[in-house]
Amino acid sequence: MRNRRPIAEPRIERAAKWLHEAHQRRERFAPMPAELAPRSVADAYAMQAEYVGLRAVRLGAIAGYKIALTTPAMRALVGIADPVAGDLLEQSLRRSPARVQAADYQRLLVEFEIAVELGEDLPAVHAPYTRERVAQAVAAVMPAFELADDREADLALLRAQPLMLIAENAWNEGAVLGTPARDWQRIDLAALRGVVSIDGAVVGEGMGADVMGHPLEALAWVANNLASRGLGLWRSDVVITGSLVTSKMPKPGAQLRFELGELGAVELNVD
């Protein structure tokens, strides 16, 4: 059963509409009007739910989740105490090899992640979840790109209203998924080495352990974050667990490849 969202108060609805219209008008990132700005983390997630609902009219139902700001350094940079969860929408998920148009984004950001596909439900009623418990629910693991758009955000402006990152669904614009490995249990996910290349040149490397010590710790965090809001993870949901390598901003014509050891590779062309 898919998550049911509570009815939002009018201010939350107005804030979500403000964000949605800013995206539609392709406006550069700017702080929300003071009367609409999120006042708490709970406020921000309520806005996110409404904002995602507006986007779902075009991009389909929620099909999974993401986690952002998985390192203390990134959280300190932005000014948020905890990681951030966001929703993935059905029509924003692609399979590798994929192509995107740079012109469709104000500023395309690409991140390099380990994705999981769930084979069973993880409802809120059974929280809290541990890494060991969520591992039992994972049906497949695969390499992935996250596609994001920060709308040319200035860090100083974001730090002035950091909860906007939550409200704006952590800037997610989808993901590109590699071939699912269903025999993943034999693979040490923490020891996986990820290598990113653009136009054949290596531009970054990272390890599975760089994401909260283990990618499935990130999955457990997402499950518990959702449960704290009365929501669950469901069979067939995809969760991208955080970037092993710093974000890249590819230009038109770029060819990206993310190799993830035994899990294979994922490819993206930017036109």
Pairing of β 201-207 and β 265-270: unpaired
The dihedral region occupied by 173, where left means phi > 0, alpha psi between -120 and 50, and beta the remainder, is alpha
Smallest CA-to-CA distance from 139 within 121, 112, 113 is with 121
- The residue ranges of the chain whose pLDDT is under 70 are 1-8
Q: Is residue 2 part of a domain?
A: no
Q: Is residue 96 part of a domain?
A: yes
Using omega within 30 degrees of 0 as the cis cutoff, is the peptide bond preceding 128 cis? yes
**pLDDT in the model for residue 2:** 59
**pLDDT in the model for residue 168:** 97
Q: How many CB atoms lie within 10 A of CB 114?
A: 29
212 token code pair: 């909260």
Burial group, residue 14, by CB count within 10 angstroms (0-12, 13-18, 19+): middle
Q: Is residue 3 part of a domain?
A: no
- Domain holding 73, by residue range, is 10-270
Smallest CA-to-CA distance from 222 within 238, 245, 243, 239 is with 239
Q: Is residue 4 part of a domain?
A: no
Q: Is residue 181 part of a domain?
A: yes
Which CATH number goes with the domain that contains 223?
Answer: 3.90.850.10
Q: How many CB atoms lie within 10 A of CB 6?
A: 10
Contact 92, 174 (CB under 8 A): yes
Q: Is residue 5 part of a domain?
A: no
Tell me 40's DSSP state. S
> What is the rounded radius of gyration, in angstroms, for the C-alpha atoms of the chain?
17
- 54-90 pLDDT, tens digit per residue, is 999 999 999 999 999 998 888 988 899 999 999 999 9
Smallest CA-to-CA distance from 86 within 218, 254, 248 is with 218
**pLDDT in the model for residue 147:** 98
* CA separation for the pair 42, 61 (Å, rounded): 22
The DSSP H or E segment spanning 207 is: strand 201-207
Smallest CA-to-CA distance from 35 within 22, 18, 55, 54 is with 18
Contact 157, 255 (CB under 8 A): no
Pairing of β 62-68 and β 238-243: parallel
Q: Is residue 109 part of a domain?
A: yes
What domain count does the chain have?
1
Angle at alpha carbon of residue 220, lines to 114 and 120, rounded to 5°: 85
* CA separation for the pair 251, 263 (Å, rounded): 27
- pTM for this entry: 0.94
Q: Is residue 205 part of a domain?
A: yes
Burial group, residue 23, by CB count within 10 angstroms (0-12, 13-18, 19+): middle
**pLDDT in the model for residue 73:** 83
**pLDDT in the model for residue 74:** 86
The DSSP H or E segment spanning 159 is: helix 155-160
